[in-house]
Amino acid sequence: MSFNYDQYIRGGKLPHIWCPGCTYGIVFKSLLRAVDSLKIPKDDIALVSGIGCASRLPGYVDWNTLHTTHGRAIPFATGLKMARPDKNVLVVSGDGDATAIGGNHFIHACRRNIDITVIVLNNFIYGMTGGQHSPTTPVGHLATTMPFGNIDPTFNIPELAKGAGATWVGRGTAYHVPALDKLIIGAIEHKGLSVLEIINACPTTHGRRNKFRSPTDMLLWMKDNFLPITAFGKLPPEKTAGKFPTGVLFKKEAPEYCDTYYGMVERLMKQKEKGA
Protein backbone atom coordinates (compact mmCIF):
# COMPACT_ATOMS: atom_id res chain seq x y z
CA MET A 1 0.00 0.00 0.00
CA SER A 2 1.35 3.39 -0.86
CA PHE A 3 2.07 5.86 1.91
CA ASN A 4 -0.79 8.15 2.82
CA TYR A 5 0.74 11.64 2.80
CA ASP A 6 -2.63 13.31 3.20
CA GLN A 7 -2.74 12.41 6.86
CA TYR A 8 0.09 14.91 7.44
CA ILE A 9 -0.50 17.56 4.79
CA ARG A 10 -2.65 20.49 5.76
CA GLY A 11 -5.80 20.73 3.74
CA GLY A 12 -5.84 23.47 1.14
CA LYS A 13 -2.22 24.48 1.59
CA LEU A 14 -0.86 22.89 -1.59
CA PRO A 15 0.45 23.52 -4.18
CA HIS A 16 3.68 24.46 -2.46
CA ILE A 17 5.79 27.47 -3.44
CA TRP A 18 8.77 25.49 -4.71
CA CYS A 19 9.78 25.79 -8.38
CA PRO A 20 9.54 22.97 -10.90
CA GLY A 21 12.66 20.84 -10.56
CA CYS A 22 13.28 21.82 -6.95
CA THR A 23 14.08 18.79 -4.83
CA TYR A 24 12.50 20.03 -1.61
CA GLY A 25 9.31 18.10 -2.32
CA ILE A 26 11.33 14.87 -2.23
CA VAL A 27 12.73 15.78 1.19
CA PHE A 28 9.29 16.86 2.39
CA LYS A 29 7.86 13.43 1.63
CA SER A 30 10.85 11.67 3.14
CA LEU A 31 10.40 13.66 6.35
CA LEU A 32 6.73 12.68 6.59
CA ARG A 33 7.53 8.99 6.05
CA ALA A 34 10.32 9.11 8.63
CA VAL A 35 8.22 10.75 11.33
CA ASP A 36 5.34 8.40 10.56
CA SER A 37 7.55 5.37 11.01
CA LEU A 38 8.60 6.71 14.41
CA LYS A 39 4.91 6.91 15.36
CA ILE A 40 5.25 10.38 16.83
CA PRO A 41 1.76 11.81 17.41
CA LYS A 42 1.11 15.01 15.49
CA ASP A 43 0.47 16.91 18.71
CA ASP A 44 3.85 15.97 20.11
CA ILE A 45 6.08 17.34 17.39
CA ALA A 46 7.03 20.88 16.43
CA LEU A 47 8.72 21.93 13.22
CA VAL A 48 10.47 25.29 13.36
CA SER A 49 12.00 27.23 10.49
CA GLY A 50 13.60 30.57 9.65
CA ILE A 51 13.43 32.27 6.27
CA GLY A 52 14.01 30.95 2.77
CA CYS A 53 12.54 28.33 0.48
CA ALA A 54 13.25 25.49 2.94
CA SER A 55 11.62 27.47 5.70
CA ARG A 56 8.24 27.31 3.98
CA LEU A 57 8.07 23.57 4.58
CA PRO A 58 6.44 23.72 8.04
CA GLY A 59 3.40 25.53 6.66
CA TYR A 60 2.35 22.41 4.78
CA VAL A 61 2.61 19.95 7.66
CA ASP A 62 -0.15 19.34 10.19
CA TRP A 63 2.07 19.54 13.28
CA ASN A 64 2.83 22.40 15.65
CA THR A 65 4.66 24.64 13.22
CA LEU A 66 6.57 27.87 13.59
CA HIS A 67 7.99 30.00 10.79
CA THR A 68 10.28 32.55 12.42
CA THR A 69 12.82 35.20 11.38
CA HIS A 70 15.85 34.73 9.13
CA GLY A 71 18.44 32.51 10.77
CA ARG A 72 16.66 32.38 14.12
CA ALA A 73 14.77 29.09 14.01
CA ILE A 74 17.18 27.44 16.45
CA PRO A 75 16.70 29.99 19.29
CA PHE A 76 12.89 29.76 18.97
CA ALA A 77 13.20 25.96 18.90
CA THR A 78 15.45 26.11 21.97
CA GLY A 79 12.73 28.02 23.81
CA LEU A 80 10.12 25.45 22.81
CA LYS A 81 12.33 22.51 23.73
CA MET A 82 13.43 23.90 27.09
CA ALA A 83 9.80 24.67 27.89
CA ARG A 84 8.64 21.20 26.83
CA PRO A 85 11.60 18.81 26.92
CA ASP A 86 9.21 15.88 26.59
CA LYS A 87 8.28 16.86 23.02
CA ASN A 88 10.04 16.45 19.67
CA VAL A 89 11.44 19.63 18.20
CA LEU A 90 12.77 19.74 14.66
CA VAL A 91 14.29 22.62 12.75
CA VAL A 92 14.30 22.82 8.98
CA SER A 93 16.66 25.36 7.49
CA GLY A 94 18.62 26.21 4.39
CA ASP A 95 22.35 26.71 3.84
CA GLY A 96 22.16 30.49 4.13
CA ASP A 97 19.63 30.49 6.95
CA ALA A 98 21.55 27.94 9.05
CA THR A 99 25.17 28.79 8.38
CA ALA A 100 25.29 32.48 7.39
CA ILE A 101 22.77 34.63 9.22
CA GLY A 102 22.00 31.84 11.69
CA GLY A 103 25.56 30.58 12.01
CA ASN A 104 26.00 31.70 15.60
CA HIS A 105 22.86 29.92 16.76
CA PHE A 106 23.84 26.84 14.78
CA ILE A 107 27.21 26.39 16.43
CA HIS A 108 25.94 27.17 19.91
CA ALA A 109 23.07 24.70 19.65
CA CYS A 110 25.69 22.12 18.66
CA ARG A 111 27.81 23.10 21.65
CA ARG A 112 24.90 22.78 24.08
CA ASN A 113 23.88 19.42 22.67
CA ILE A 114 20.20 20.15 23.16
CA ASP A 115 17.91 17.43 21.81
CA ILE A 116 16.80 19.21 18.65
CA THR A 117 17.04 17.77 15.13
CA VAL A 118 18.44 20.34 12.71
CA ILE A 119 17.82 19.49 9.08
CA VAL A 120 19.72 21.72 6.68
CA LEU A 121 18.53 21.64 3.10
CA ASN A 122 21.67 22.65 1.28
CA ASN A 123 20.93 23.83 -2.24
CA PHE A 124 24.15 25.85 -2.48
CA ILE A 125 22.40 29.18 -3.10
CA TYR A 126 19.97 31.79 -1.79
CA GLY A 127 17.04 30.59 -3.85
CA MET A 128 14.15 32.68 -2.59
CA THR A 129 15.89 35.97 -3.23
CA GLY A 130 17.02 34.90 -6.68
CA GLY A 131 20.42 33.25 -6.59
CA GLN A 132 22.94 35.08 -4.43
CA HIS A 133 25.96 33.10 -3.23
CA SER A 134 25.71 31.36 0.13
CA PRO A 135 28.37 29.91 2.44
CA THR A 136 28.09 26.63 0.52
CA THR A 137 28.14 27.94 -3.08
CA PRO A 138 31.09 26.14 -4.69
CA VAL A 139 34.05 28.34 -5.55
CA GLY A 140 33.86 29.37 -9.18
CA HIS A 141 30.09 28.99 -9.46
CA LEU A 142 28.07 31.87 -10.79
CA ALA A 143 25.67 33.68 -8.52
CA THR A 144 23.89 36.99 -8.99
CA THR A 145 26.20 38.61 -6.46
CA MET A 146 29.23 36.74 -7.81
CA PRO A 147 28.72 37.36 -11.53
CA PHE A 148 32.38 36.54 -12.26
CA GLY A 149 32.40 33.33 -10.29
CA ASN A 150 32.24 32.80 -6.53
CA ILE A 151 35.51 33.53 -4.76
CA ASP A 152 34.29 32.89 -1.19
CA PRO A 153 35.57 29.71 0.43
CA THR A 154 32.82 27.35 1.53
CA PHE A 155 31.61 25.75 4.73
CA ASN A 156 31.43 21.99 5.00
CA ILE A 157 28.27 21.78 7.08
CA PRO A 158 28.86 18.36 8.70
CA GLU A 159 32.42 19.32 9.64
CA LEU A 160 31.18 22.61 11.05
CA ALA A 161 28.56 20.81 13.14
CA LYS A 162 31.04 18.23 14.36
CA GLY A 163 33.60 20.86 15.27
CA ALA A 164 30.97 22.81 17.20
CA GLY A 165 30.00 19.79 19.28
CA ALA A 166 26.98 18.21 17.59
CA THR A 167 26.69 14.61 18.74
CA TRP A 168 25.05 13.22 15.59
CA VAL A 169 26.04 14.42 12.15
CA GLY A 170 24.81 13.03 8.88
CA ARG A 171 24.54 13.80 5.21
CA GLY A 172 21.99 12.58 2.70
CA THR A 173 20.82 13.67 -0.71
CA ALA A 174 17.52 14.19 -2.44
CA TYR A 175 18.58 11.50 -4.91
CA HIS A 176 19.30 8.70 -2.41
CA VAL A 177 15.79 8.61 -1.03
CA PRO A 178 15.52 5.28 0.84
CA ALA A 179 18.78 6.14 2.61
CA LEU A 180 17.42 9.61 3.35
CA ASP A 181 14.37 8.18 5.15
CA LYS A 182 16.70 6.20 7.40
CA LEU A 183 18.94 9.18 8.05
CA ILE A 184 16.03 11.37 9.11
CA ILE A 185 14.85 8.60 11.42
CA GLY A 186 18.34 8.31 12.89
CA ALA A 187 18.65 12.07 13.36
CA ILE A 188 15.33 12.28 15.21
CA GLU A 189 15.99 9.20 17.32
CA HIS A 190 19.35 10.50 18.48
CA LYS A 191 19.24 12.06 21.94
CA GLY A 192 21.17 15.30 21.57
CA LEU A 193 21.74 17.85 18.86
CA SER A 194 21.68 16.17 15.48
CA VAL A 195 22.54 17.88 12.24
CA LEU A 196 21.50 16.34 8.97
CA GLU A 197 22.68 18.03 5.82
CA ILE A 198 20.54 17.12 2.84
CA ILE A 199 22.00 17.92 -0.57
CA ASN A 200 19.36 19.55 -2.75
CA ALA A 201 19.06 21.10 -6.16
CA CYS A 202 17.92 24.57 -7.10
CA PRO A 203 17.71 24.42 -10.89
CA THR A 204 16.10 27.86 -11.11
CA THR A 205 18.69 30.04 -9.42
CA HIS A 206 21.76 27.80 -9.25
CA GLY A 207 21.68 24.94 -11.73
CA ARG A 208 20.81 26.76 -14.91
CA ARG A 209 23.54 29.34 -14.33
CA ASN A 210 26.11 26.65 -13.66
CA LYS A 211 26.06 24.24 -16.59
CA PHE A 212 23.42 21.90 -15.22
CA ARG A 213 21.26 21.65 -18.30
CA SER A 214 18.27 20.27 -16.43
CA PRO A 215 17.08 19.36 -12.94
CA THR A 216 17.86 15.76 -13.85
CA ASP A 217 21.51 16.65 -14.36
CA MET A 218 21.60 17.94 -10.79
CA LEU A 219 20.17 14.69 -9.44
CA LEU A 220 22.66 12.73 -11.55
CA TRP A 221 25.45 14.83 -10.06
CA MET A 222 24.26 13.71 -6.61
CA LYS A 223 24.05 10.10 -7.81
CA ASP A 224 27.60 10.12 -9.16
CA ASN A 225 29.38 12.09 -6.48
CA PHE A 226 27.78 11.30 -3.13
CA LEU A 227 28.80 7.88 -1.79
CA PRO A 228 28.03 6.00 1.39
CA ILE A 229 30.77 6.76 3.89
CA THR A 230 32.08 3.20 3.77
CA ALA A 231 32.46 3.32 -0.02
CA PHE A 232 33.95 6.81 0.20
CA GLY A 233 36.50 5.53 2.71
CA LYS A 234 37.68 2.89 0.25
CA LEU A 235 38.42 5.42 -2.50
CA PRO A 236 42.09 6.02 -3.15
CA PRO A 237 42.91 9.59 -2.06
CA GLU A 238 43.46 10.78 -5.63
CA LYS A 239 39.88 9.82 -6.48
CA THR A 240 38.13 11.69 -3.66
CA ALA A 241 38.20 15.11 -5.31
CA GLY A 242 34.64 16.25 -5.94
CA LYS A 243 33.22 13.24 -4.08
CA PHE A 244 31.39 13.44 -0.77
CA PRO A 245 30.56 10.89 1.93
CA THR A 246 26.96 10.33 2.97
CA GLY A 247 25.33 8.51 5.87
CA VAL A 248 25.96 8.95 9.56
CA LEU A 249 29.29 10.75 9.46
CA PHE A 250 29.79 11.21 13.17
CA LYS A 251 28.10 10.10 16.33
CA LYS A 252 28.96 10.23 20.00
CA GLU A 253 27.22 10.03 23.34
CA ALA A 254 27.28 13.14 25.52
CA PRO A 255 25.01 14.62 28.19
CA GLU A 256 21.93 16.18 26.61
CA TYR A 257 21.20 19.78 27.65
CA CYS A 258 17.59 19.43 28.86
CA ASP A 259 18.56 16.35 30.88
CA THR A 260 21.44 18.21 32.46
CA TYR A 261 19.39 21.33 33.12
CA TYR A 262 16.38 19.60 34.60
CA GLY A 263 18.70 17.24 36.51
CA MET A 264 20.14 20.32 38.17
CA VAL A 265 16.64 21.66 38.82
CA GLU A 266 15.56 18.41 40.44
CA ARG A 267 18.65 18.35 42.64
CA LEU A 268 18.18 21.96 43.73
CA MET A 269 14.47 21.55 44.42
CA LYS A 270 15.17 18.52 46.61
CA GLN A 271 17.90 20.44 48.38
CA LYS A 272 15.49 23.28 49.05
CA GLU A 273 12.84 20.89 50.36
CA LYS A 274 15.32 19.39 52.80
CA GLY A 275 16.51 22.83 53.82
CA ALA A 276 12.95 23.91 54.51
Residue 158 CA to residue 169 CA, distance in Å, equals: 6
Q: Select 80 or 183, whichever has its Cβ closest to another protein.
A: 80
What contacts 233, CB < 8 A, 6 or more positions away? 245
User: Three-class SS of residue 84?
Assistant: coil
Q: Select 110 or 180, whichever has its Cβ closest to another protein.
A: 110
18 is a contact residue toward another protein (CB under 8 A): no
Residue 71 CA to residue 91 CA, distance in Å, equals: 11
In the bound complex, what is the minimum distance in angstroms from residue 122's beta carbon to another protein? Answer: 22
CB 151 within 8 A of CB 139: yes
From 18, 53, 54, 78, residue interacting with another protein (rule: CB under 8 A)? 78
Applying CB under 8 A, the site for another protein has a residue count of: 40
Distance set, CA 249 to CA 135, 183, 186, 245 (Å)? 20, 11, 12, 8
Which one of 25-33, 78-86, 165-173, 218-226 is the stretch in contact with another protein (CB under 8 A)? 78-86
Q: Select 22 or 73, whichever has its Cβ closest to another protein.
A: 73
User: Pairing state of beta strands 117-122 and 168-173?
Assistant: unpaired
Neighbours of 259 (CB within 10 A): 15
From 26, 34, 80, 100, residue interacting with another protein (rule: CB under 8 A)? 80
From 26, 46, 98, 118, residue interacting with another protein (rule: CB under 8 A)? 46
166 is a contact residue toward another protein (CB under 8 A): no
CB 106 within 8 A of CB 135: no
In the bound complex, what is the minimum distance in angstroms from residue 32's beta carbon to another protein? Answer: 15
Residue 81 CA to residue 86 CA, distance in Å, equals: 8
CB 165 within 8 A of CB 111: yes
Q: In the stretch 88-117, what mask flags binding to another protein with x, by CB under 8 A? A: ----------------xx-xx---------
Nearest to 118 by CA among 59, 177, 62, 165: 165
Q: Select 67 or 191, whichever has its Cβ closest to another protein.
A: 67
From 4, 13, 38, 228, residue interacting with another protein (rule: CB under 8 A)? 13
The angle, 0 to 180 degrees and rounded to 10, between the axes of the packed helices 73-83 and 257-275 is 40
In the bound complex, what is the minimum distance in angstroms from residue 265's beta carbon to another protein? Answer: 5
48 is a contact residue toward another protein (CB under 8 A): yes
53 is a contact residue toward another protein (CB under 8 A): no
Q: Select 79 or 228, whichever has its Cβ closest to another protein.
A: 79
Nearest to 118 by CA among 147, 144, 98, 133: 98
Interface ranges with another protein (CB under 8 A) = 10, 13, 42-44, 46, 48, 58-59, 62-69, 72, 74-84, 87, 104-105, 107-108, 261, 264-265, 268-269, 272
